[in-house]
């Protein structure tokens, strides 16, 4: 298999609401945005939001994408200032990894 790109798609209830949430959380503007999708370039991978009202799905907790950052501690403190719903009360140490999770307005969980 020759992989050219990797990405994660989150189904959201509202593209506008989710875009307004993720732009400050990710600290960047999307590189693609239209009526169906809002996509952020994350270290060469695609983190995309899309809304599809044609089929009913259970939102949130279906997929937990993770974003590797330089400092989990610094990002935890930064997201706390944005009033983001943090799902962990502190940064967790699991072996060599430091991580925490947060939820977006639609209940989707993301790990940093």
d(CA 106, CA 59): 7
Q: Return the pLDDT at 100.
A: 94
Q: pLDDT per residue over 64-92, tens digit each? A: 788 889 999 999 999 999 989 999 999 99
Is the per-residue pLDDT at 37 higher than 80? yes
Which among 50, 67, 68 has a CA at the least distance from the CA of 59?
A: 50
Give the 3-state secondary structure of the chain.
Answer: CCCCCCEEEEECCCHHHHHHHHHHHHCCCCCEECCCEEEEEECCEEEEEECCCCCCCCCCCCCCCECCCCCHHHHHHHHHHCCCEECCCCCEEECCEEECEEECCCCCEEEC
**Which tokens is 97 given?**
């990894």
Confidence of residue 25 (pLDDT cuts 50, 70, 90): very high
d(CA 10, CA 108): 8
Q: Answer for the pair 18, 105: CB distance below 8 angstroms, yes or no.
A: yes
Confidence of residue 59 (pLDDT cuts 50, 70, 90): low
Share of the chain above pLDDT 70, in %: 88
Is the per-residue pLDDT at 34 higher than 70? yes
DSSP bridge partners of 38: 33, 49
Q: What is the pTM of this model?
A: 0.79
């Amino acid at each position: 298999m020759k992989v050219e790109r990797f990405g994660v798609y989150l189904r959201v209830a509202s593209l506008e609401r989710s875009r307004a949430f993720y732009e400050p959380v990710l600290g960047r503007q999307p590189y693609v945005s239209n009526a169906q999708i809002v996509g952020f370039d994350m270290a060469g991978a695609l983190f995309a939001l899309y809304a599809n009202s044609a089929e009913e799905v259970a939102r949130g907790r279906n997929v937990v994408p993770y974003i590797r950052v330089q400092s989990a501690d610094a990002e935890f403190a930064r997201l706390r200032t944005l009033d983001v719903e943090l799902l962990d009360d502190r940064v967790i140490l699991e072996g060599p990894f430091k991580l925490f999770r947060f939820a977006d307005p639609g209940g989707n969980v993301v790990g940093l």
